[in-house]
Amino acid sequence: MKFEEYLKLAEKFNPQNVIDNIAHLGRFHRIQGSKELAEAANFVFQTMRDMGIDTHFFVEYYDGESVAGNMNIPIAWEVEYGKVETEKRIITTEETKLVVMTHSPPGRARGEVIPIKSEEDWEKVKGKIVLVRENWRENYRRACKKGAKGYIAYRKGLKNAVPYIGLFLTRKDLEWAKIPAVAISESLAMELIRKTENGEKFSVRLEVKSKIKEKEILPIIYATIGKPPYILFSAHICHPRPGANDNASGSAMLIELARVLRDLHNENFRFGFAFLWVPEHIGTSVFIEKHAILDNYYGVINLDMVAGNKILFIRTPLSRFSLLSPVLELFLKLKNSETQDFAMDIPRLPLSATPYSVGSDHDIFNFFGVPAVMMITWPYPYYHSSEDSVDKLNKESIEIIGKAVLASSLFLSQKELKKFARASQLTYLGELSMKREVKVAEILVDAGLKRDGKFLGIEIGKEGKKNGWLRWTRKGMLTPEIIKEEKNRAKLQEIYRNRRNISLIHELIMLGEQLDESSAWQALWEEYGEYDMRKIRDALKILEKERVIEFT
């Protein structure tokens, strides 16, 4: 079949079904550690079962003590009521539950507001209420230790929306986490800051009623069509109400993809299809550690926020090169074209493709050797805010992404791909060589194609010699929270302020598992261009000291 015929088959995908399920999922306040997250997962489970698809509900638990993929599993927690009261305004959880920061301890506070604008301001916070705009978790800890009564956070750029901010506390954190934490809009925060700049002293009242429980269900929904090997589709089902784009949209799209693939799949397909709904990062880590058979997966397509106005495609890392990337990129471009003709390409929506970057569940699969890509609509102005509602969604992006993903999956499952593989190899290496001299990338692309060939039934690529410079002994997200020594934790936080460094560090470690030291650094440069080697080296030293990696 030609490309257009796969797109024609993909017309069975119905964007309105996705919108309807987004609206239903958006009724749940799907906070990690809450009962409504489990309820939302149960809706997905029952929907899939009703469609006759083999579906499992794996029950794990939020307990505030366990660890998965280097991440602490937070406490089980429910918000019951919250309030921020100023002289002129009262905001409560009746307006939006995001007023209460996720996992905030219960409590009340009344006092003078101290906006944090410099280091010196921290010396004034004892007995006061702190107002901050960034580094929310680390600043919350600092406010508690400095003796503040309460904690208010906001996010720059949101104007009148209330941000979603999570503390993700553990039981050990509850030894120091004692004060109520709330979130307000940027416009209200600016009003309070102006008052302090004019020399006014004023009080605000905070109230948080929350419940910290022994445990709550950490839900993992897993469904399959056909037999392994699988193309796996993943989406994180967590995030607050309404959380329409982030990420009811990806979760709802999985349901619709499953509906269509149930009807199209037959025994002639080289792949079956698997579907995974999880709490972000943590759920995927638990799934891989306890339930997954990684050899069963050809690759992963992660759907995160698929209903905005600008489409961004995140490729597999160079260390995990796979045809999954060029196939998806091709069908995205075809579906996004008004004419579906590259000679007269008129894009429907802004569309771009970028090298691998961290940020969602595709990360964890890549870390464990399964090539994974991500679809996301980014930037998104209502991201992590009270205004991420159904009325803001773009039905056209749901159609473009959904049909492109569906067509790509059919193409990979049915088409003989040897010629396409060779063309993709030349195209990708040619793209890199236009920017930088390529010395190592070809070896990695060959190794990726060799793996692809085993799944696709073609002879392509070349097995690379494993000559790893390091071992990743504790695979998972490399967050500052895993660093025990406070000085090193602060140093890693500083390195991470440039978010690009986060992706560079994770990818360098994946490269370092396969290549000698010189080649790994070279490959990183070939993939991303210039970077600050000194800072990346500093991060590796910290991770080595923490025994997350070992140098061979």
Which of the residue ranges 83-92, 123-132, 246-255, 458-467 would you say has the lowest mean pLDDT?
458-467
- Give the mean model confidence (pLDDT) for residues 102-129: 96
Question: Among residues 205, 543, 506, which one has the least CA distance to residue 355?
Answer: 506
Shared domain check, 233 and 156: no
- Give the mean model confidence (pLDDT) for residues 305-326: 98
Does residue 238 lie within any of the structural domains?
yes
- Of 212, 238, 264, at which residue does a domain stop? 212
Give dist(CA 101, CA 541) in Å, integer: 34
pLDDT of 236: 98
Kindly tell me if the per-residue pLDDT of 20 is higher than 70. yes
pLDDT of 88: 86
- Of 212, 232, 255, at which residue does a domain stop? 212
Q: What is the CATH number of the domain that holds 175?
A: 3.50.30.30
Is the previous residue joined to 379 through a cis bond, with omega within 30 degrees of 0? yes
Q: What is the CATH number of the domain that holds 292?
A: 3.40.630.10
pLDDT of 340: 56
Shared domain check, 232 and 292: yes
pTM of the model: 0.97
Does residue 313 lie within any of the structural domains?
yes
Number of domains the chain contains? 3
Average predicted confidence (pLDDT) for the chain: 96
Kindly tell me if the per-residue pLDDT of 521 is higher than 80. yes
Per the structure block, which two tokens stand in for 127?
């007995």
Does residue 449 lie within any of the structural domains?
no
Does residue 452 lie within any of the structural domains?
no
pLDDT band at 201 (very low <50, low <70, confident <90, very high): confident
Shared domain check, 303 and 190: no
Shared domain check, 94 and 55: no
SS (H, E, C) 218-282: EEEEEEEECCCCEEEEEEECCECCCCHHHHHHHHHHHHHHHHHHHHHCCCCCCCEEEEEEECCCH
Shared domain check, 380 and 308: yes
pLDDT in tens, 383-423: 999 999 999 999 999 999 999 999 999 999 999 999 999 99
Shared domain check, 53 and 7: yes
pLDDT band at 338 (very low <50, low <70, confident <90, very high): confident
Kindly tell me if the per-residue pLDDT of 56 is higher than 80. yes
- Of 144, 179, 212, at which residue does a domain stop? 212
Shared domain check, 222 and 194: no
Shared domain check, 244 and 379: yes
Does residue 478 lie within any of the structural domains?
yes
Shared domain check, 156 and 38: no
pLDDT of 384: 97
What are the φ/ψ torsions at residue 479 (nearest 5 degrees)?
-90, 155
Does residue 429 lie within any of the structural domains?
no
Q: The domain containing residue 195 runs over which residues?
A: 76-212
* Residue 303, burial from CB neighbour count under 10 angstroms (0-12, 13-18, 19+): buried
Does residue 546 lie within any of the structural domains?
yes
What are the φ/ψ torsions at residue 440 (nearest 5 degrees)?
-110, -30
Per the structure block, which two tokens stand in for 275?
């579907």
pLDDT of 341: 59
Kindly tell me if the per-residue pLDDT of 508 is higher than 60. yes
Shared domain check, 407 and 276: yes
Kindly tell me if the per-residue pLDDT of 344 is higher than 90. no
Shared domain check, 187 and 117: yes
Determine the angle formed by the axes of helices 395-414 and 15-25, rounding to 10 degrees: 120
- Give the mean model confidence (pLDDT) for residues 108-137: 96
pLDDT in tens, 438-488: 999 999 999 999 999 999 999 999 998 888 999 999 999 999 999 999 999
Shared domain check, 405 and 503: no
- Give the mean model confidence (pLDDT) for residues 480-499: 94
pLDDT of 466: 83
pLDDT band at 342 (very low <50, low <70, confident <90, very high): low
